[in-house]
Each structure stands twice: as structure tokens, then as C-alpha cells.
């Protein structure tokens, strides 16, 4: 039964990737939720509950800071490792960002991480407004919009197709 009552879907603990993931670019799967009826994204409030041995293994085998400090590129829906961006980092920071590029290129790792989170949140807000307009005004074009983003995975597009029927 479809409800006629107004509703609002707010997702929390949506993350673009895990510290275990060594890929250079991760797909912005968090933004795809808007194509499935999501109204709002919230922050990550709780970490996963895992065996303590897993965290020891993770520290020994992965660069957790490098793998989790990523910058969102709305043009292609990719989250890029900040550490490996080099000079292209400055091109990825939008002019409208609420922080200065020097905040991200700062030598302080904590300062850089905070600035990247602020830019990502800003870009997610901007993109959610774009997606809300597309979904409301041209829902039939939503899938095509996601398809135009080079880092959206084909499997995710297929899943969106299944849920939109």
C-alpha cells in the first residue's frame, strides 16, 4: 500500500567507503540514494562493530588515514584520495567551497581532514539540490543523469533500474 501521507527520508551512517579500500577512486554511491527516494543525507555517527583483531590487522596492512581522506568530485561522482591528487587537488575544489584551497593543502593532517569533510558536505548539499530538481521535474531522466557520471558503477545503475520499476 502506498502512503499518501507526506514523508521525509533522512539517511544517516551513509559512507562512501571504508578504510580497508585501497582504490584511488571510490564511486559516490551515497548520492545514488536520491534516485531511490532519499531526501537527505546525514553524517556518520557510529562506526562498524568488529572483532578487535580486525582493527589490529587493519592498522598493520592499510593506510587508514589515506584511504578515508577523500574529496568528492561532483562532475564524475568519484571520491579521490586527497594524498594522491597532487596539483589536480586545487582544480577539484569548487570556487563556491566554504573553505580556502590552502585549508586543504595545509601541512596539518587534522586541519586538512576537517577541510575536506567540509568541502564534501558542501558538495553533497549542492548535488542533493540538483538531484531533487531532476527527480521532481524529470524523474525519467534521473537514471541518464547518473549514467553520465563516469565513476558510477554499472551494477549500481542496474540496481537503480530495478528499484525504479
Query: Which pTM value belongs to this model?
Result: 0.75
For residue range 35-87, what is the model confidence (pLDDT) as tens digits?
Answer: 565 665 666 656 667 777 766 765 665 555 666 788 999 999 999 988 888 88
The long-range contacts involving 130-137, CB below 8 angstroms and separated by at least 24 positions, are: 131/31, 131/34, 131/35, 132/34, 132/39, 135/34, 135/35
pLDDT above 80 for 2: no
The domains of the chain are located at: 10-60+72-163
Q: In the 8-state DSSP scheme, what is residue 71?
A: E
Among candidate residues 2, 164, 152, the one with its CA nearest the CA of residue 78: 152
Amino acid at each position: 500500500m502506498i502512503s499518501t501521507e507526506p514523508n521525509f527520508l533522512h539517511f544517516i551512517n551513509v559512507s562512501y567507503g571504508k578504510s580497508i579500500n585501497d582504490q584511488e577512486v571510490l564511486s559516490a554511491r551515497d548520492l545514488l540514494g536520491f534516485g531511490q527516494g532519499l531526501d537527505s543525507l546525514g553524517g556518520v555517527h557510529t562506526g562498524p562493530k568488529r572483532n578487535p583483531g580486525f582493527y589490529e590487522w587493519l592498522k598493520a596492512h592499510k593506510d587508514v588515514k589515506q584511504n578515508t581522506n577523500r574529496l568528492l568530485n561532483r562532475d564524475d561522482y568519484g571520491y579521490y584520495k586527497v594524498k594522491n591528487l597532487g596539483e589536480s587537488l586545487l582544480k577539484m575544489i569548487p570556487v563556491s567551497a566554504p573553505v580556502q584551497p590552502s585549508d586543504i593543502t595545509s601541512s596539518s593532517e587534522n586541519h586538512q581532514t576537517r577541510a575536506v569533510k567540509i568541502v564534501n558536505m558542501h558538495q553533497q548539499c549542492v548535488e542533493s539540490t540538483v538531484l531533487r530538481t531532476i527527480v521532481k521535474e524529470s524523474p525519467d531522466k534521473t537514471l541518464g543523469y547518473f549514467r553520465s557520471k563516469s565513476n558510477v558503477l554499472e551494477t549500481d545503475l542496474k540496481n537503480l533500474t530495478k528499484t525504479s520499476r
